[in-house]
């Protein structure tokens, strides 16, 4: 699936601000009760040395700050998986799978 403008903006901003060793931005909107081609639900896996010494909540706050415009607009949900390089290696470089959506008309 081609990435849309919001997904590209998310990727561009995170690369510029956090210099990730790994970045994966997945549009998971199709898994929810939204119109086709929506960009409302994203999963972000990001590995960055800039997370060294930060608690998980501080990492999330940093990403929320970077993506404030997107979160104030179309983005409804943002699943964040944020790791230091050492943590990522300890996880065998595998991010958790997203659970199925049980809300809306998909119940």
Nearest C-alpha neighbor of 59 from the set 29, 17, 27? 17
For residue 31, which phi and psi values (nearest 5 degrees)? -85, 0
Domain ranges of the chain: 5-92
The pLDDT score that the predictor gives to residue 26 is 92
The pLDDT score that the predictor gives to residue 36 is 73
- Rounded CA-CA distance 87/82 in Å is 9
Using the structure block, give the residue that is written with the tokens 């659970």.
99
* Confidence check: pLDDT of 99 > 80: no
In CATH terms, the superfamily for domain 5-92 is BolA-like (3.30.300.90)
Between 51 and 96, name the one with better pLDDT.
51
Segment 52-75 shows an average pLDDT of 96
- The model carries a pTM of 0.86
Q: Evaluate whether 74 touches 44 at the Cβ level (below 8 Å).
A: no
């Amino acid at each position: 699936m081609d990435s849309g403008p919001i997904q590209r903006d998310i990727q561009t901003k995170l690369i510029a601000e956090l210099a990730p060793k790994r970045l994966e931005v997945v549009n998971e909107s199709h898994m929810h009760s939204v119109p086709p081609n929506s960009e409302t639900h994203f999963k972000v896996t990001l590995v960055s040395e800039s997370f060294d010494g930060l608690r998980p909540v501080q990492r999330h706050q940093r990403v929320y700050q970077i993506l404030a415009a997107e979160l104030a607009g179309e983005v409804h949900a943002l699943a964040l998986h944020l790791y230091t390089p050492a943590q990522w290696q300890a996880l065998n470089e595998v991010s958790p799978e997203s659970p199925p959506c049980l809300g809306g008309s998909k119940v």
